[in-house]
Amino acid sequence: MLKEEQAQISHECDDCPIRHRAVCARCEADELDLLEAIKYYRSFEAGQTVIWSGDKMDFVGSVVTGIATLTQTMEDGRTQMVGLLLPSDFVGRPGRDGSAYDVVATTDLVMCCFRKKPFEQMMERTPHIAQRLLEMTLDELDAAREWMLVLGRKTAREKIASLLSIIARRDATLNLRPTEGALVFDLPLTREAMADYLGLTLETVSRQISALKRDGVIHLEGKRHVTVPDFTRLMEEAGDDADGGMFA
Amino acid sequence: MLKEEQAQISHECDDCPIRHRAVCARCEADELDLLEAIKYYRSFEAGQTVIWSGDKMDFVGSVVTGIATLTQTMEDGRTQMVGLLLPSDFVGRPGRDGSAYDVVATTDLVMCCFRKKPFEQMMERTPHIAQRLLEMTLDELDAAREWMLVLGRKTAREKIASLLSIIARRDATLNLRPTEGALVFDLPLTREAMADYLGLTLETVSRQISALKRDGVIHLEGKRHVTVPDFTRLMEEAGDDADGGMFA
DNA sequence: GGTCCTCTTTGACCCAGATCAAGCGCGCGA
DNA sequence: TCGCGCGCTTGATCTGGGTCAAAGAGGACC
């Protein structure tokens, strides 16, 4: 909690790293001023739970830096990740009180938050916010449906390749690295978290990553640092059309 | 195509069966008049494809009666259903030209359509429409995430029970039947379509339905007419908390 | 009333991935 | 510097659901 207080250092929206991608992306200067007046930052350490499923959630917000996950758990402990929240992603649902999922910080995390009530009022008055939120929600819905294909119909190897290509792609667009040649990135998830995302066991994840390494689809430095020498090859392994590639 | 023309019989929004649940649910009388002026009906026969994935889509619309499915297909033919569209559900995405999925009528289908351009303009001028669309999209996102748990972590038997309970629930709210005692409904999907929804093969679907019948969880009359004597039992079989029940 | 044809059921067998069980290796705290 | 723990790898075995194959059950059409 003290940590959270410290994080409330002054941040200007103008030089916010997610200014042009988050829910505020379409706001004009004056609208941004209003948001700036009611926003506050919260930070979390890796492993900390942001909210538990079913808990009352009196804020909404955007991931500024770090990574969080959305997970669902059955009574007997089986868990399924249902969302991977990267910088600029939105957390929380206007018009609902409780959280439907566990939200967990998997790395150190900074969020830009708004108390729900004021945000909802703002949304009614500022179409730019509602428009952007609709757009982001539709994108998430598409991503969720893409993921349903992965979960329902892909083999373990294809699942791993799909996850790697998604992380690689999002990492590339976020960091604006060139997409030519080899892609390099760090896995932000443990083997177990990957298993929860993919509907697999952590042993299978480990085995398939080893297999992809053995077959030269990826290189590993340590456990987390990944090099993809040929992205098209990875896409093929994922079972995707090798075109749906690298834009926006 | 002739069939579609015929379907343009006069329908009044006032006595539309999905008036209070569709994208127009929040519209005032005057807003409704504007929509009424630009809407048109299209009908499709069972089995007909509404749009192919990738095709240009110059309209959006709501399912009025009947059932449609959203599916994704891999090059080698593996297919995954990613959406089940019941009356009042919305089809199409404002701000995107092509369809991301195959949309197929699984029963005879009537849709209330709007050409995309006018609808988008309308959305900008009528916050009630955008608000309702956001709400519906958030609901669909929740449903998709629920489904990710089903696909990723449930057994074949649990998957079947989950599908049955979802159909039973939606059918009950749609037809406003009392939820006391036995639930009765018709399966709107073939075994193959169920398999595509659940990430199973049609043989496994058939076997598990037989097993649920043998164990008295459901009764079957013919292949499609289902009776659920004890809904709580079905929920347990689905692996869900037996509470998240029967409201709205 | 017979004959397709599509949807479905059921059986026999097989395999991808789960489960159970050792170990490895790196970072951290004492 | 050591040891301890957590994340990870790898092996051996088991099994749920896939695959392949055959046959029943309604319709719809002639």
Q: What is the CATH number of domain A155-237?
A: 1.10.10.10
Of A162-176, B9-23, B73-87, which has the strongest mean pLDDT? B73-87
Give B201 CA → D29 C1' in Å: 31
Mapping DSSP to helix (H, G, I), strand (E, B) and coil, where does residue A221 land?
strand
**Residue A90 clears pLDDT 60, i.e. is over it:** yes
Provide the pLDDT for residue B4. Answer: 42
Determine if strand D comes within 7 Å of the CB of B105.
no
Provide the pLDDT for residue A3. Answer: 42
Provide the pLDDT for residue B171. Answer: 81
Average pLDDT over residues A40-53: 94
Provide the pLDDT for residue B177. Answer: 61
Provide the pLDDT for residue A102. Answer: 96
State the nearest Cα–Cα gap between A204 and chain B, in angstroms: 14
State the number of CA atoms in the 13 A half-sphere of A239 facing the CB: 23
**pLDDT tens-place string over residues B183-212:** 899 999 999 999 999 999 999 999 999 999
Cβ–Cβ gap B137/A135 under 8 Å:
no
**pLDDT tens-place string over residues B218-238:** 999 988 899 999 999 999 999
Residue A172's pLDDT band (boundaries 50, 70, 90)?
Answer: confident
Mean pLDDT of chain B: 90
Q: B221 forms bridges with which residues in the sheet?
A: B225
Burial of A163 (0-12, 13-18, 19+ CB in 10 A): buried
Query: Amino acid identity of B135?
Result: E
Provide the pLDDT for residue A239. Answer: 94
State the nearest Cα–Cα gap between B5 and chain A, in angstroms: 31
Pairwise CA distance, residues A112 & A122, whole Å: 16
**pLDDT tens-place string over residues B98-116:** 999 999 999 999 999 999 9
pTM: 0.92
Residue A173's pLDDT band (boundaries 50, 70, 90)?
Answer: confident
Q: Are A149 and A198 a contacting pair, CB within 8 Å?
A: no
Element (H, E) at A44: strand A40-44
**Residue A245 clears pLDDT 70, i.e. is over it:** no
Go through chain B and tell me how many residues it has.
248
Average pLDDT over residues A16-33: 94
Determine if strand C comes within 7 Å of the CB of B207.
yes
Average pLDDT over residues A99-113: 95
Mapping DSSP to helix (H, G, I), strand (E, B) and coil, where does residue A66 land?
coil
Q: B18: alpha, beta or left, given left = phi > 0 and alpha = psi -120 to 50? A: alpha
Cβ–Cβ gap B145/A79 under 8 Å:
no
Residue B179's pLDDT band (boundaries 50, 70, 90)?
Answer: low
Average pLDDT over residues B124-134: 93
Joined together, the tokens standing for residue A111 give 């969020």
| Residue B165 neighbours by CB under 8 Å, 6+ apart | B231, B234, B235, B238, B240
Residue B8's pLDDT band (boundaries 50, 70, 90)?
Answer: very low
Tell whether A74 is within 8 A of chain B (Cβ): yes
Chain pair A-B, CB pairs under 8 angstroms: 100
Which residues of B are less than 8 Å from A134 in CB distance?
130, 133-134, 137
Q: Are B57 and B51 a contacting pair, CB within 8 Å?
A: yes
Tell whether A147 is within 8 A of chain B (Cβ): yes
Provide the pLDDT for residue B245. Answer: 43
**CA nearest to B54 within chain A:** A244
**Where are chain B's structural domains?**
2-148, 155-237
Residue A1's pLDDT band (boundaries 50, 70, 90)?
Answer: very low
Element (H, E) at A204: helix A202-214
From B68, B63, B99, B94, select the one nearest B81 (Cα to Cα): B68
| Residue of least CA–C1' distance to C8 | B206
Please report the DSSP string for chain B in residue order.
-HHHHHT-----GGG-TTTTTSTTTT--HHHHHHHHHH-EEEEE-TT-EEE-TTSB--EEEEEEES-EEEEEE-TTS-EEEEEEE-TT-EES-TT-SB-SSEEEESS-EEEEEEEHHHHHHHHHH-HHHHHHHHHHHHHHHHHHHHHHHHHHH--HHHHHHHHHHHHHHHHHHHHT---SS-EEEE--S-HHHHHHHHTS-HHHHHHHHHHHHHTTS-EEETTTEEEES-HHHHHHHTTS-S-S-S--
Indicate the range of A42-51, A178-187, B106-115 predicted with least confidence. A178-187
Q: Which CATH architecture has domain B2-148?
A: Sandwich (2.60)
Go through chain A and tell me how many residues it has.
248
Cβ–Cβ gap A130/B135 under 8 Å:
no
Name residues 185-244 of chain B within 8 A of A (Cβ).
198-199, 239, 241
Joined together, the tokens standing for residue B128 give 């009630």
**Residue A244 clears pLDDT 90, i.e. is over it:** no
Average pLDDT over residues A7-30: 85
**pLDDT tens-place string over residues A70-85:** 999 999 999 999 999 9
Distance from the first to the final alpha carbon of chain A = 37
The vertex-A140 CA angle with B23 and B241, nearest 5°, equals 85
**Residue B122 clears pLDDT 70, i.e. is over it:** yes
